Amino acid sequence: MNAIEVENLSKFYGPARGIENVSFSVKKGEIMGFLGPNGSGKTTTMRILTCFFPPTSGTARVCGSDILKDSFSVREKIGYLPENVPLYIDMPVFSYLNFFAEIKGVPSRLKKKKVDEVIQRCELQSVSHRLIRKLSKGFKQRVGIAQALLNDPEVLILDEPTVGLDPKQIIDIRSLIKGLGGSQTVILSTHILPEVSMTCDRVIIMHQGKLVAVDTPSNLTKKLQQAPKIRLKAEGPASDIIKTLSQLSGITAIDRKEPGSEKNGFYEIEIKQNADVINEIAKSVYENNWKLKEIKPVDMTLEEIFIKVVTEEEGDNNT
Ligand SMILES: Nc1ncnc2c1ncn2[C@@H]1O[C@H](COP(=O)(O)OP(=O)(O)OP(=O)(O)O)[C@@H](O)[C@H]1O
Ligand SMILES: [Mg+2]
């Protein structure tokens, strides 16, 4: 079952395009990543889904409820961490969460239980009586996520949950988010590519207000990897190695890379799609008495894919 269904959403801010014709769905329990450069429309899409403002056209359903016809029930089903978390900084964490439990209509008999629960889940025990103002950025972010979780939302929408955090806090927040998947449906936005492969089941790539790709991180890697590469480390005269290997059929280019020092050098070999040349390369290295140190196919990184998708789109737009 789909927790979120988005159909042809467009949002214009006057003449300025926020997003245009965006359609996608998110399965129940799935963690979906929104990836895109600044201004690509991630926040706009999230604000429409949380009923912060209506779309210019198109619609969306959250757990079966329409964002236009039934916004009240959509709001009930969603927990939202906005881009800039508005926290009442002069309140202690515990009182803040109690206050929000009340605003969110958590029944009073359940209030203490719910607040304790989100404090546990977001590991806020050690700071629950401290003023929010005195917390580090990472802990403030956790308070924001705890607030979003208070009403046991079926869907969590997190706008850049790890922005501005230190590496340790990033790891903690990621594992917190990963732990939410399965029981809750999560949409999160990020600029950080590794974050998507580490945390998300699927990823939507947005660019200039449009959805340009949606798939699992590993399928995106496979699909867009048009020119597969092989990395070879071998000891021998570089010019001989390049000359010999470039004569093998299936090899389209060979390039020597020397990051740092010659000793760390390797060859990057571009091959034709589906060419099975690893054996041929190894054989050639062996027959020429060069010393084989390493040979392996290289996957395109998500970063390379992202750049490829985005630049191809820009190319299309210019034609
Ligand atoms: N209130 C607004 N008024 C006018 N234009 C806006 C407004 N909010 C967003 N936009 C425009 O809509 C487009 C999408 O912006 P949005 O904030 O959704 O992008 P984003 O992907 O969240 O970017 P970022 O990564 O910087 O947070 C941008 O071109 C932006 O300038
Ligand atoms: Mg944004």
Report the 3 state secondary structure along 141-167.
HHHHHHHHHCCCCCEEEEECCCCCCCH
Is domain 2-223 annotated with CATH 3.40.30.10? Answer: no
Does the pLDDT at position 159 exceed 50?
A: yes
Contact criterion met (CB below 8 Å) for 180 and 28: no
Which residue lies with its CA nearest to atom 4 of ligand 1? 13
Does the pLDDT at position 319 exceed 50?
A: no
Q: What is the pLDDT of residues 283-297, one digit of tens each?
A: 999 999 999 999 988
CA of 271 to the centre of ligand 2 (A): 39
Residues with CB under 6 Å of ligand 1 are 13, 16, 18, 36, 38-44, 209
Q: What is the pLDDT of residue 301?
A: 67
Strand order in the sheet with 229-235: 251-257, 266-271, 229-235, 291-298
CA of 49 to the centre of ligand 2 (A): 14
Structure token digits, residue 231: 């990395």
For residue 158, which of 110, 130, 195, 116 has the smallest C-alpha distance? 195
pTM above 0.85, yes or no: no
Q: Candidates 9, 13, 203: which one to mutate for ligand 1, based on the most atoms within 8 Å of Cβ?
A: 13
Which residue lies with its CA nearest to atom 2 of ligand 1? 13
Strand order in the sheet with 31-35: 78-81, 155-159, 185-190, 31-35, 202-207, 210-215
Atom of ligand 1 at shortest distance to CA of 43?
A: 22
Which residue lies with its CA nearest to atom 26 of ligand 1? 38
CA of 310 to the centre of ligand 1 (A): 17
Q: What is the pLDDT of residues 238-272, one digit of tens each?
A: 999 999 999 998 899 999 988 767 677 899 998 88
Question: Do the first three CATH levels of 2-223 and 226-298 match, i.e. the same topology?
Answer: no
Contact criterion met (CB below 8 Å) for 155 and 77: yes
Structure token digits, residue 180: 């939410």
Distance of CA 281 to the CA centre of its chain: 37
Q: Give me the chain's average pLDDT, please.
A: 88
Which ligand is located closest to the Cα atom of residue 36?
Answer: 1
Does the pLDDT at position 92 exceed 90?
A: yes
CATH architecture of 226-298: 2-Layer Sandwich (3.30)
Q: Please, which residues bridge with residue 22 across strands?
A: 9
CA distance 218 to 224: 10
CA distance 260 to 265: 8
Q: Where are the alpha helices (DSSP H) in the chain?
A: 42-49, 71-77, 93-103, 108-121, 137-149, 167-180, 193-199, 217-224, 238-246, 278-287, 302-318
Which ligand is located closest to the Cα atom of residue 159?
Answer: 2
Which region among 94-108, 138-152, 291-305 has the lowest average model confidence (pLDDT)? 291-305
Domain boundaries, the chain: 2-223, 226-298
